[in-house]
Amino acid sequence: MGMTATTTRPASVTEAIETRRSIRKYVQEPMNQGDLHEILRLASLAPTANNVQPTRFVVVQDKALKDKLMEASYNQQQVSNAPAVIVVYSDMEDFLGNVEETVHPGMGADQITARAEGLRQNFVNQDVAQRGQWGLAQANITFGFLMLAARGLGYDTNPMLGFQPEKVRELLGLPEHVQFAGIMPIGQRAEEGFPHHRHSVERITKFM
Ligand SMILES: Cc1cc2nc3c(=O)[nH]c(=O)nc-3n(C[C@H](O)[C@H](O)[C@H](O)COP(=O)(O)O)c2cc1C
């Protein structure tokens, strides 16, 4: 593993998957803001059940705030080392307050109202924690898309759950009910990362 690493842009999803690895040292340059926006847009194309789309992002690029986020992440250096950190969470209460906006406009006013009411009924009988868990499952899919979207544009990431959620909520001014899929330092790799070490397909699969 050398001190520097060159960034390549994968030509396919297959190559993006093969070349993604957790990167914890980044080139010290600000993110291209257009690329950052495009990566978030691509991640927003991830599917969700009933198209509920409860995933929300906070992008942290401010140095002082990154440092505080690092503290809340047991001082893991990659948090402040990366030019940006994308915080990914689900907010089902935001969804429930704005159900109509998730229904396809092509359905027409009556259908939108009916469908929105049906969706609300699904969730109002659950408590905040239950629907929080459900929303988190959706946000986790987006979290996966985000890594590959970043790789696809030639960037690298480190998915992270090693942080104190209460502290991160407080730092970012997020309400108590939000559920974190994780935080994700992003930038251009300045290290190679580790080769993949994974179970074989045979170890993890039953073909029936
Ligand atoms: C949900 C999740 C949480 C993780 N949390 C951390 C973390 O807090 N700190 C860290 O250094 N790596 C973290 N990782 C990275 C894993 O250690 C890494 O993905 C795994 O060892 C496989 O290596 P690779 O990503 O290079 O393929 C996390 C990964 C995932 C998927």
Check if the beta carbon of residue 107 is closer than 8 Å to that of residue 67. no
What is the 146 CA–ligand 1 centroid distance (Å)? 14
CATH among 1.10.10.10, 3.40.109.10, 2.60.40.1180, 3.90.550.10 for 17-189? 3.40.109.10
Question: Of 2, 19, 4, 28, nearest to 153 (Cα)?
Answer: 19
Q: By alpha-carbon position, which residue is closest to atom 4 of ligand 1? A: 160
Cα Rg of the chain (Å, integer): 19
Residues having CB within 6 Å of any atom of ligand 1: 21-22, 76, 158-162, 182, 193-194, 196
Q: By alpha-carbon position, which residue is closest to atom 13 of ligand 1? A: 160
pTM more than 0.85: yes
Lookup result for tokens 């396809």: 104
Lookup result for tokens 């914890």: 24
What is the 133 CA–ligand 1 centroid distance (Å)? 21
What is the 128 CA–ligand 1 centroid distance (Å)? 28
Domain ranges of the chain: 17-189
Give me the tens of pLDDT residue by residue for the chain, a chain 208 residues long: 445 677 789 989 999 999 999 999 999 999 999 999 999 999 999 999 999 999 999 999 999 999 999 999 999 999 999 999 999 999 999 999 999 999 999 999 999 999 999 999 999 899 999 999 999 999 999 999 999 999 999 999 999 999 999 999 999 999 999 999 999 999 999 999 999 999 999 999 999 9
At residue 149, what is the residue type?
Answer: A
**Residue 33 token pair:** 């803001």
- Cα(60)–Cα(11) distance, rounded to whole angstroms? 28
